A and B are shown apart, each in its own frame.
Chain A
Amino acid sequence: MNEQTVKNLKTVVLSNQEVSPGYFRMRILAPGYPGSAKPGHFVMLRVQRSLHPLLRRPFGIFQTGTLPPDCEGQPPKEYLEILYKVVGRGTNLLKDLHQGDRIEVLGPLGRGFSPLLEGREQILVGGGIGLVPLYMLARELVKTTKVRLYMGGRSREDILCVTEFERLGVETYVSTDDGSLGEQGFVTQALERRLDLGSEASLYACGPMPMLDAVQKICAQRCVPLQVSLEALMACGVGACLGCVVKGIGHSEETPRYLCSCKAGPVFDARELAWQKMDKENDYCEGCAS
């Protein structure tokens, strides 16, 4: 497990823009993040100072970066970006924030991806907003290998930032349920075809639980290593409340085995998880929102 330096930053919003209907991209001033945030890490945002909503909200880090200083002599501005879908109270408040508004960022949190390279084809699979943690990963992976992204969503509005992946040199394949962009159908169909060409691959996936479960089956059948980023309800984000657990391998009702998804995750090796036991309705997963 990587022990990053976790901080609670009291900081400001740099920009906040709607990138597709219902999806926003927010840039937040975040000194230290370009150095400390790794692919798959997340932050807990305190959206407001009052009591509604009470708890922080978890968001994956889409990317980090550095801007030149506003004026000479000042240090460059380090930032992080999140990409989010407006689904409820917290995200509705978030979408109304403007440049200069205050925000609190707890992070970087969790265990991120641990890339498996060694001559393997690197394949990313994203469903809807589940694409968020894959961008930083792609940025890392393209330095040494070829990277392919299989991106799925309900409709063209749910396919975000694909051109940014392409700009990194990632080969992208898009599928939508309604066929409004890319191939019509599930992202898993295109993925299966690719894997059946036979080259050795490593997979990294994030998206709705049914998609992850399908990807997991495809990988298990072919002995392809897979890491998934899960989403759970969270209160603290630091391993203290134990509210965010998911079922680990070997879990049964008689001998429950829970893994803390904010500490041991949110990225897990697919083999660590009890897929058959996951309740597709109750176990929240990245992109349920999608």
Chain B
Amino acid sequence: MSAKNNETSPNLGVEVAGLRLKNPVMPASGTFGYGAEYAPFFDLNRLGAIVTKGLSLKPKAGNPTPRIAETEGGMLNAIGLQNVGVDAFVAEKLPLLGSLSTPVIANFFGNSLEEYGEVAARLSDIPEIAACELNISCPNVKKGGIVFGTDPKAAAEVVSLVRSKLSKPLIVKLTPNVTDIALMARAVEEAGADALCCINTLTGMAIDIRSRKPRLANVTGGLSGPAIRPVAVRMVYQASSAVNIPVIGVGGIMTAEDVVEFLIAGATAVQVGTANFIDPCAMIEIIEGLESFCRAEGIDDIRELIGSLRI
């Protein structure tokens, strides 16, 4: 059901952090590789944007196995941010991404404040990258492993530093493992973020009851998939109510209807993660589904939905 007929198609375009997206749908970091992995299935240019696997300064080997465990309506992962590092990314992955017309968003992280700054400076110089997404759900190894994104001061500090090194739009991806997401959202906005992305995975755990061992070698991991969607919708609602910058909603999206729910809650765009594993064409079906939804509901411009919650 694509827009082939002569009716005027609804406008699916949105703007986030100064980027014009042809539709609000992009992959969630770490679930779409570097794009090439899904190129056999559809034209990547159909996506609103592409978000890379989280990049660090040096290559990262990742965690011991098992790294994944399926749970009810979701999955736990403790991949350990395995990635090729910025240099190999530029040499091996960027040629394909750079040839696309859709904007490329580079997700990145660091293990210390300094490393965050260095990666930001490197990414800043790469013309093929349209914007950066800062993952602050990482432990600060120099400060006893406290996660940057769970402390408003530490979060603001890393965001300000990155802001000062990065000459591109900055999206900050928040962790849901906090008591007050609105507080974090405001701290990050004040420190210079151009947009927020909510949410990263929820920390979880699963045990094999026969061996009494954790099902992940890392013991705990991040929960994703449909099981987390109500939490993500709540956090998008609270964060978008607390700030003036746009919010990208992510967490458990499987269908176009799920996207609409996030938009109503206050998201300007969305990311699709775990659903890509289940159906490599999930995002295309979602984009087509959004168009049908708008048409069926008489919505000319998808932006009408954003933050349209009636309470």
Partner-B contacts on A (CB < 8 A): 5-8, 46, 51-56, 104, 106, 232-247, 255-258, 279, 281-284
Contact = CB atoms under 8 A, between A and B. Distances in A.
B200 to A, nearest CB: 15
B124 to A, nearest CB: 26
A55 B279 contact: no
B65 A54 contact: no
Interface of B: 30-33, 37-38, 40-41, 53, 61-62, 64-70, 72-75, 77, 79, 82, 211, 217, 225-226, 254, 274, 276-281
B70 A240 contact: no
B31 A52 contact: no
Given A7-B40, A106-B280, A54 B73 contact: yes
Contacts of A281: 211
Task: Give the top 8 A-B pairs by smallest Cβ distance, nearest first.
Answer: A243-B68, A256-B61, A240-B33, A236-B277, A240-B37, A235-B277, A6-B40, A239-B37
B38 A242 contact: no
A8 B280 CA distance: 8
16 contacts: A8-B279, A46-B278, A52-B73, A54-B274, A54-B278, A55-B70, A55-B277, A55-B278, A233-B65, A233-B66, A233-B69, A238-B38, A241-B79, A245-B65, A246-B65, A282-B65
Contacts of A241: 30-31, 68, 77, 79, 277
Contacts, number: 102
Nearest to B72: A52
A8 B30 CA distance: 21
A204 to B, nearest CB: 24
B109 to A, nearest CB: 15
B279 A239 contact: no
A60 to B, nearest CB: 19
A51 B277 contact: no
Contacts of B69: 233
B62 to A, nearest CB: 6
A255 B59 CA distance: 11
Given A54-B226, A241-B31, 16 more contacts: A54-B74, A54-B75, A54-B225, A56-B277, A233-B69, A235-B277, A236-B276, A236-B277, A240-B37, A240-B277, A241-B30, A241-B68, A243-B79, A245-B62, A256-B64, A258-B61
Contacts of A244: 68
A53 B277 contact: no
